[in-house]
Amino acid sequence: MNALLNSLKKTADRTSATDLRAAFAGDPERFRNFSLRFEDLLMDFSKIAINAEVLDALVRLAAEKGVEEKRAAMFAGEKINITEDRAVLHTALRNRANTPVMVDGKDVMPDVNDVLDAMGKFSEGIRSGSINGATGKAFTDVVNIGIGGSDLGPAMTTLALAPYHDGPRLHYVSNIDGAHIADTIAGLNPETTLFIVASKTFTTIETMTNAGTARKFIAEALGEEAVGHHFCAVSTALGKVADFGIDSSRVFGFWDWVGGRYSIWSAIGLPLMIAIGSKNFGAFLDGAHAIDKHFQEAPVTENLPFMLGLIGYYQRVVLGYPSRAVIPYDQRMSRFAAYLQQLDMESNGKSVTIGSEEVTTPTGPIVWGEPGTNGQHAFFQLLHQGTNIIPIEFMIAANGHETDLRHQHQLLMANCLAQSEALMKGRTLEEAKAQLLDKGMDAETADKIAPHRVFSGNRPSITFVYDALTPYALGRMIALYEHRVFVEGVLFGINSFDQWGVELGKELATGLLPVVSGSESAEGHDSSTKGLVATLLAAAH
């Protein structure tokens, strides 16, 4: 193990024993010393057992691992995705400064701007009704068919930005399970429904199958010639889109240097643009661009994504925490954890280094979460008193959109702050006992019950606070997490931009289709798979 990491572990052994209550009592400036601000966005990491010595060691480790050089390489369009020989340039998609970004000697910005313009015209046409269905009726419903990065980004953001949604209704179909598309189209009128087929590769079995079902829905109701009016596509594979029969004027392209899980800023964001309009979509890009500049320019110790990455690495590799929870106190962010799961786990769930060797330290954590306050009434018990330490990232806006329900927002804020305070402070045995005695319990019963009411405390959390969940603030938050994943990936020493781990299951599913359809025997498969196939086939009707 690297010498710096070793000494960091030793420092951590001392620091993680730090009693956070004592740390706060001993340093009235702890909040100021361990929080950062960018615009109206605050990142408070004072409630994790970290000190200046640990931070200093982390910053040195980042320098040794070349995080800043790799950051520069990414923004400059170098092919840092070495296993696919690709640049990683989702930042160019929101490069609002419009400075040249070169890939293979060509500035990509004119193409980026052309697609954005085309998306703007198309989405405004749909919103105004000037682009309409085969029978001349305006579209009331838009169904995005895509999966993974071609679904999670637009689905999550459409929900998050509901207060800005003034376009047609949006629906998202992703699962190969026929129930998903069947339930979605059940209530829709084909005359007023537009389908977006979103797939970077235009080969993904789920998306192609659902697109076929949607095509049938339109063709059976309105005739084959209506299909062109009711479909558009988003893809990098323009040839394959043409084969599906979608007119080139309704195809919005992007490029191989945009990873699926980083594609919300590209034409994959079309459904979001249709929902909230091109002006709000522009503000969403602006927020991400602001973080890009901050990430590139701010000194490490004042740099939110950089510090978030350093802390994440510290918690995963040095402290060995296997998972982290993201808990937005915002009901509209209820798909944020799902979005982050792909962003983080598909990027950093790797076991091989960039140099093609087995990793020697843990890599990306398990990411999960639900909005508060719902999570409080489900899994928070384990977060407070379970045997695993799970770092939490809380998010809360100072203002909800429902100004007439301010009291409810106050309750939301109080709950968010109460959770991080409770996790940090805990409750000692003496405090628990005193509380019970105060309530009139006899001493013997109090002795028995009090241990159940002890909270160890010292449980780490970061809290983000921002003004309100606007398109700009959401763009900023997503970009912040993207760059955090980047920083952690460099520290882990892996390639965060490929996803070979999803391939094997896909290959085997293709081979198993004729088996579960009964046209091929299960011979050659393991006895468990054979047994499962036999059971499914015997029960099928």
Q: Which of 12, 122, 141, 148 binds ligand F6P (CB under 6 A)?
A: 148
Identity (one letter) of the amino acid at 58? L
**Which positions ≥6 away from 247 have C-beta within 8 Å?**
228
Q: Residue 452 CB, nearest distance to ligand F6P (Å)? A: 43
Angle at 262 between CA 256 and CA 263, to 5 degrees: 65
Burial of 91 (0-12, 13-18, 19+ CB in 10 A): buried
Q: Say whether 506 is catalytic.
A: yes
The count of chain residues that interact with ligand F6P, using the rule CB under 6 A, is 14
Cβ pair 478, 472 in contact under 8 A: no
| Residue window 470-509: x/- pattern of binding to ligand F6P, with contact defined by CB under 6 A | -----------------------------x--x-------
DSSP three-state, residue 38: strand
**Which positions ≥6 away from 339 have C-beta within 8 Å?**
152, 153, 156, 478
Identity of the residue, 134 or 237, whose beta carbon is nearer to ligand F6P in the bound complex: 237
Q: Compute the Cα dihedral for 208, 234, 146, 347 and give only its sign.
A: positive
Q: Which of 90, 171, 200, 483 binds ligand F6P (CB under 6 A)?
A: 200
Q: Which of 204, 303, 461, 495 binds ligand F6P (CB under 6 A)?
A: 204
Q: Which of 150, 184, 303, 315 binds ligand F6P (CB under 6 A)?
A: 150
Q: Say whether 346 is catalytic.
A: yes
Identity of the residue, 206 or 393, whose beta carbon is nearer to ligand F6P in the bound complex: 206
Q: Would you tell me how many other CB atoms lie within 10 Å of the CB of residue 249? A: 9
Q: Which of 133, 149, 460, 489 binds ligand F6P (CB under 6 A)?
A: 149
Residues 87-116 contacting ligand F6P, CB under 6 A: none
Q: Which stretch binds ligand F6P (CB under 6 A): 114-122, 196-204, 222-230, 425-433?
A: 196-204
User: Distance between CA atoms of 80 and 74, rounded to whole angstroms?
Assistant: 7
Q: Residue 517 CB, nearest distance to ligand F6P (Å)? A: 23
Q: Residue 197 CB, nearest distance to ligand F6P (Å)? A: 9
Tokens 């998972």 -> residue: 323
Q: Which stretch binds ligand F6P (CB under 6 A): 201-209, 240-248, 272-280, 473-481?
A: 201-209
Q: Would you tell me how many other CB atoms lie within 10 Å of the CB of residue 312? A: 25
| Site membership for ligand F6P, residue 428 (CB under 6 A) | no
Q: Residue 235 CB, nearest distance to ligand F6P (Å)? A: 8
Q: Residue 198 CB, nearest distance to ligand F6P (Å)? A: 7
Q: Which stretch binds ligand F6P (CB under 6 A): 94-102, 142-150, 313-321, 478-486?
A: 142-150
Q: Which of 29, 225, 358, 377 is catalytic?
A: 377
Of 474, 175, 165, 198, which is closest to residue 336 (Cα–Cα)? 474
User: Distance between CA atoms of 464 and 239, rounded to whole angstroms?
Assistant: 44
> Which DSSP string do the residues of 460-498 spell out, in sequence order?
-EEEEEES---HHHHHHHHHHHHHHHHHHHHHHTS-TT-
Q: Residue 147 CB, nearest distance to ligand F6P (Å)? A: 5
Identity of the residue, 210 or 303, whose beta carbon is nearer to ligand F6P in the bound complex: 210
Tokens 């013997």 -> residue: 444
| Site membership for ligand F6P, residue 260 (CB under 6 A) | yes
Q: Which of 95, 144, 193, 207 binds ligand F6P (CB under 6 A)?
A: 207
Identity (one letter) of the amino acid at 457? G
| Site membership for ligand F6P, residue 261 (CB under 6 A) | yes
- Measured CA distances, 495 to 97, 205, 255, 357 (Å): 28, 26, 19, 12
Tell me the two tokens of residue 417. Answer: 């702050």
Q: Residue 293 CB, nearest distance to ligand F6P (Å)? A: 26
| Omega before 192 within 30 of 0, i.e. cis | no
Of 195, 190, 177, 324, which is closest to residue 250 (Cα–Cα)? 195
| Site membership for ligand F6P, residue 205 (CB under 6 A) | no
| Site membership for ligand F6P, residue 199 (CB under 6 A) | yes
| Site membership for ligand F6P, residue 341 (CB under 6 A) | no
Residues tagged active-site: 346, 377, 506
Q: Residues in the site for ligand F6P, rule: CB under 6 A? A: 147-150, 199-201, 204, 207, 260-261, 346, 499, 502
